[in-house]
Structure 1
Amino acid sequence: MPNKQPLTTVWTEPEARDEVLSGHMQNDIVRMMLRQFDVYLEANKHQLARAAGLSLNEYKALEFVLELKPLSPGRLAQLLDLSPSGTQALITRLENAGYLLRKPHPRDGRMTSLYPNQERCKRLMGDMDLPAQQVMQAAAHYNPKQITALYEFLLKSLEHLRQDALDRLKHKTT
């Protein structure tokens, strides 16, 4: 690309920032992060779930448990938009297959929390990492400053997305 500017964490010229983040590039970044990545990752989830012998909801449940552990059955029901009975059936299937463990919540032993069975999930987690390996190969073409800037950008973006998702879960009324 002609006049390609490297990613940096510090902008030395105000005009440079406006030029890099103008118009189509800004829209492309948002579209790539919030729609295109999601679409292609979702397509990969279907394949990974099928290969593991899981339904898509079972696979997504495991993703949530792996990321948000400990996770209560009620919170999992919210995330998957399932009824309590549907969630219990899904949890039971994953528990019987050896993927999930039910344990007392670490702060309130009266509540049940869901944890991944790390040993059983090891292969599945390895398969989940395949897209990450492809991203790492793409990242190898950039210098450390560029990767650092990208990391900081994604970290801030993820903080906002994560907080928004957790706030929605807290305030969901159904």
Structure 2
Amino acid sequence: MPDKQPLTTTWTQAEAKDDVLSGHMQSDIVRMMLRQFDVYIEANKHQLARTAGLSLNEYKALEFVLELKPLSPGKLAQLLNLSPSGTHALITRLESAGYLLRKPHPRDGRMTSLYPNHERCKRLIASMDEPAHYIIDATAHYNASQLSALYDFLLKSLGHLREDALHRLKRKPT
């Protein structure tokens, strides 16, 4: 793409919404949020899992349980694309290591739900948050109204992504 414009590095206040989210900038935002962030976060997960003495699937399982609690073993299997026996073994390892708790589901006591053991997960959560200082440093250059707009944008974007993910979990895997 010879006419591709470089990513902008400064905040611009455009007259109209179309000017801010036009063409290349909108494509860059989408690419950054849906591909680039994912690639770099995934690379960091490998290191964080290794540091915690966990396999990548164990680490991802804990991330899912921390974010989507309560989470059923079946939904965890669906998210990790594991067989029921593989998921059972993974849950048993995490439970034995003290990271997970199995409890009755809050609305249907016949079902089992997975919860994080927050005391055991404290160090892991702290390591997950280590890259946060880069984001904090990056936001220091913006004023309150710019940060408010960014917050609103991210909140809405993540809301849609979360809604889509939860909708997909409701469907049975093929």
So what's the TM-score if we normalise by structure 2? Answer: 0.91
Q: 1:52 to 1:114 in 2, by over 3 A?
A: same
CA separation in 1, counterparts of 2:142 and 2:12?
12
Partner of 1:156: 156
Q: 1:146 to 1:43 in 2, by over 3 A?
A: same
Alignment of 1:68 with 2:68, yes or no, is yes
Equivalence map 1:43-122=2 (5 Å)? 43-122=43-122
**SS of structure 1 residue aligned to 2:102:** strand
CA separation in 1, counterparts of 2:122 and 2:167?
30
CA separation in 1, counterparts of 2:69 and 2:10?
45
In the alignment, residue 37 of structure 2 is paired with which amino acid? F
* Superposition RMSD in Å: 1.6
For CA contacts below 8 A with separation 6 or more, give which structure has more relative contact order: 1
Equivalenced residue count is 167
Deviation of 1:91 (Å) = 0.2
Partner of 2:34: 34
Question: For structure 1, which runs of at least 5 residues remain unmatched after alignment?
Answer: none
Question: For structure 2, which runs of at least 5 residues remain unmatched after alignment?
Answer: 1-7
Partner of 1:20: 20
Answer yes or no: is the 8 Å Cα contact 2:102–2:113 preserved in 1. Answer: yes
Answer yes or no: is the 8 Å Cα contact 2:78–2:173 preserved in 1. Answer: no
In the alignment, residue 92 of structure 1 is paired with which amino acid? T
Percent identity at matched positions?
78
Partner of 1:134: 134
CA separation in 1, counterparts of 2:107 and 2:11?
52
Deviation of 1:21 (Å) = 1.4
So what's the TM-score if we normalise by structure 1? Answer: 0.91
Alignment of 1:167 with 2:164, yes or no, is no
